[in-house]
Amino acid sequence: MHSSQHYSKQVDYDLLEVPGLDNLQIAVIPAMHRSEENEDTGVRTCEWAIQMDFLFIPYIELYGWYAESERENGTDVANGLFTSSSLKHSELVVVLPGGKHLANLENKLASGQFISEVIITRWIKFDLGFITKIPIQINTFKGCFLTAVQQYMDYIIVRMRINKKEVICTAFDQDGFPSGVGMLDMSFVSTDLGWSIF
C-alpha cells in the first residue's frame, strides 16, 4: 500500500489488478476517500480529476490511471544508434467511478468516434472559507480512440490509444506561490507506421 501526504491529510492508495491486462496494477483511491456527493461530480480527495471532451462536465473524480512513454532502443549501448528517434506510448488506462457516463463511453467505443482530448489534472485544494483549486499537474492526451470499456464492480476501466501527450507540472514554494513550470509535448504518430503503441 502506498500513501501520500498533502496538508496533513493522509490518503492511502490500493492496488487494482486490471482484468485482461497481465501484470498491470493501478494505484486507485480507496472507497473511504472517494466523493460522497453525486458520483458524476465532486472530487473529495481533490487530487485527481478527468475531463473527456463533453462526456464529463466539467470533470469527474479519477480513481487511478496508467500511461507510459518509451523510446525504441537498440542493443549496442556503445553505439550512438542505441537510442533511436522512435517514441512509443502504452494504451492510456483510466479507472473511473460508475455512473451515467458508462453508456456514453460504450457508445463512443461501439461507433469508433474520435475523442479529441482527455485531460487528467492533479489539484491542490485550499479551504479557507472558500475553495480554490490550483492544478499542479495537467496531463493532456490528444487524438484518442477507445479500445476497451469494462465495468468491474464499482469501477469503470477505460483503455484508449493516443496520438499526442502534453504535460505541464507546476512547482510551488512554501508560501504557495508558483516557483517553476516543467512542460512536455510529444507526438506518438508515425506517418509510415501509424500507431506507435505497445
Q: What is the pLDDT of residue 127?
A: 56
Q: Is the pLDDT of residue 178 over 60?
A: yes
Q: What is the pLDDT of residue 128?
A: 52
Q: Whole-number mean pLDDT of the chain?
A: 75
Q: What is the pLDDT of residue 132?
A: 59
Q: Name 61's Cβ contacts closer than 8 Å, sequence gap at least 6.
A: 29, 34, 35, 39, 42, 43, 44, 45, 48, 49, 50, 96, 97
Q: What is the pLDDT of residue 131?
A: 45
**Percent of residues, the chain, with pLDDT higher than 70:** 69
Q: What is the pLDDT of residue 167?
A: 93
Q: What is the pLDDT of residue 26?
A: 81
Quick: pLDDT tens for 21-37.
Answer: 777 888 787 655 555 55
Q: What is the pLDDT of residue 59?
A: 84
Cell numbers at residue 47, please? Answer: 487530487
Banded pLDDT at 144 (limits 50, 70, 90)? very high
**Percent of residues, the chain, with pLDDT higher than 90:** 23
Q: What is the pLDDT of residue 3?
A: 39
Number of domains in the chain: 1
pTM higher than 0.85, yes or no?
no
Return the CATH number at 146: 2.30.110.20
* Across 141-155, average pLDDT: 90
Query: Which residues form the domain of 14?
Result: 2-74+81-195
Quick: pLDDT tens for 68-124.
Answer: 887 766 666 666 655 555 778 889 999 998 888 899 899 999 999 889 999 999 887
* Alpha-carbon span 148 to 160, nearest angstrom: 7
* Across 166-190, average pLDDT: 83
